Amino acid sequence: MTEYPTLLPRFLKYVQINSRSDENSTTVPSTKREKDFQKDVLMKELMDLGLKDVHYNEKSGCVIATIPSNIDYKVPVFGLLAHSDTADFNSVNVKPQITKNYDGKSKIRLGESEFYLDPEVFPHLKNYKGQTIISASGDTLLGGDDKCGISEIMTFAEYLMTHPEEKHGEIRIAFTPDEEIGTGAQHFDVDEFNADFAYTVDGEAPGKLDWGTFSAAQFSLDIQGVNVHPAVAKGQMINAIQVGIDFQNSLPQNEVPEKTDGKEGFFHLMNFEGTVDSAHLDYIIRDFERQGLEERKNLVKSIVKKMNEELGSERIKLKMWDQYYNMADELKKHMEIVDLAREAYKAEGLTINEDPVRGGTDGSQLTYMGLPTPNLFAGEENMHGRFEYTVLESMWKAVDVLRQINKLNVERNK
């Protein structure tokens, strides 16, 4: 494993910049802070490193750049992508903390808070004995998802630009917005990117290789009740809160995230706001099989229809839309890309974990847009909350893998 001295300071700089997305926004990107991070920080650094055609695509909210070829023959152009936004958790005043030479058994206190990274709660911590753990202060997320990936891609680019003896063809880089709210790839210009294939660098522990994801949909319910005085409510009141509870109770009670794993799908209630007069509920639906997703969507529609019939009018208004589909269905046609990553992992001594990811990546959408895009590990752990952490050695290894993919791509196509 190679040590990359600029990776840690780069990562620490990035995570202290608030770039959280906003699912309620209608702009691209969804927040000005994302755009500022993209244009003021990432674009400038790419230019300083000497990459070519560094620009910001106003339509997609993406920073695009090219590592120019230093060989005299053509090889397939591959792309590397990571997202610049962070998840729906406090991201203001992130204070990263470093635990060096972790003993593999102790609790790590998060700043001065009451919260700890406890290996009895998070057993994967035990895998990192002797390594460097980077966490936050207990009141924010860390932002490793996906500033790990950004740091690794940037460090990889820096390495190639400063080591001309390492041969490579053209390599495209893109930093995307709004992945955490599921819209980051919707406006991506695949033709402009002009790569033969790509990888997102947005996965978990070393060895994780994602080429199968959930298929996903989202829906919301707006419920209109009838609010009258409780003293005369009989036969008149329709309590919108209770209607929402009744809907939730009509779904399969064991098919929720906290009771499923592996390839089991779920319904997930993410938000419930309401009064007697009106209520609003937000859900996501996940299933690895496309047919399974359709069956879940149809179940929701049938419950809403039945409840409205019982209520005597359309008290429940349903909005539903698809988000992305299992990229395995398309990547099965491009397994040479997965095989390239597998070979790179093996060359770096990694045990490969190809369990389907219980989520999605920008690659889920990009693959269906004509850019086959599996997902590589970035070293992220406990994503989307105060217990998020990453491991410096995992991030170094991710850069090694990127170099190995490049090496194999060049050697295969001489």
Cα 241 to chain centroid, rounded:
32
Mean pLDDT of 365-392: 96
pLDDT digits (tens, 9 = 90+) for 120-137: 999 999 999 999 999 999
Domain at 7-212+326-412, CATH homologous superfamily: Zn peptidases (3.40.630.10)
Token look-up 């996903």 returns: 216
pLDDT in tens, 279-314: 999 999 999 999 999 999 999 999 999 999 999 999
- Read off the pLDDT band of 96 (50, 70, 90): very high
| 8 Å CB contact between 257 and 269 | no
Task: List the domain boundaries for the chain.
Answer: 7-212+326-412, 215-324
Nearest to 375 by CA among 398, 349, 400, 348: 398
Average the pLDDT over 342-371 and give the result: 92
Quote the pLDDT of residue 7. Answer: 98
pLDDT at 102 over 90: yes
pLDDT exceeds cutoff 80 at 49 = yes
CA nearest 290: which of 257, 262, 330? Answer: 330
151 pLDDT above the threshold of 90: yes
**Beta strands, E only, 58-96:** 62-67, 78-83
> What burial class does residue 160 get, using C-beta atoms within 10 Å of its C-beta: 0-12 exposed, 13-18 middle, 19+ buried?
buried
pLDDT at 391: 98
- The mean per-residue pLDDT over the stretch 247-259 comes to 97
Q: What is the pLDDT of residue 377?
A: 97
360 has a pLDDT exceeding 80 = no
Q: Which of 146, 179, 362, 381 is catalytic?
A: 179
pLDDT of residue 181: 86
Is pLDDT above 80 for 210?
A: yes
pLDDT recorded at residue 136 = 97
pLDDT for 69 equals 97
Q: What share of the chain in percent tops pLDDT 90?
A: 92
Kindly tell me if the per-residue pLDDT of 23 is higher than 80: yes
Q: Which pLDDT belongs to residue 93?
A: 96
pLDDT grade for 206, boundaries at 50, 70 and 90: very high
Q: Does domain 215-324 have CATH number 3.30.70.360?
A: yes
57 φ, ψ to 5°?
-90, 110
Residue with the bigger pLDDT between 374 and 182: it is 374
Q: Is the pLDDT of residue 109 over 90?
A: yes
Position 364 scores a pLDDT of 87
pLDDT, position 339: 97
Whether the Cβ atoms of residue 220 and residue 280 lie closer than 8 Å to each other: yes
Q: Residue 324 above 90 pLDDT?
A: no
What is the DSSP-derived secondary structure letter of residue 355?
Answer: P
Q: For residue 358, name the pLDDT band (cuts at 50, 70, 90).
A: confident
User: Average pLDDT, stretch 210-236?
Assistant: 95
- Distance, CA of 155 to CA of 122 (rounded, Å): 29
Mean pLDDT within 213-239:
95
Told to judge if 179 belongs to the known catalytic residues of this protein, a careful annotator would answer yes
Average pLDDT over residues 75-89: 96
Q: How confident is the model at residue 182 (pLDDT cuts 50, 70, 90)?
A: confident
**Model pLDDT, residue 247:** 98
**What mean pLDDT comes out for the span 185-208?**
95
Percent of the chain topping pLDDT 70: 100
Please check whether residue 85 is in contact with residue 144, taking contact to mean a CB–CB distance below 8 angstroms: no
Is pLDDT above 90 for 413? no
Mean pLDDT of the region 93-119: 97
Please indicate whether residue 329 is annotated as part of the active site. no
pLDDT of residue 171: 98
Average pLDDT, whole number, for the chain?
96
Catalytic residue (choose from 34, 45, 85, 204): 85
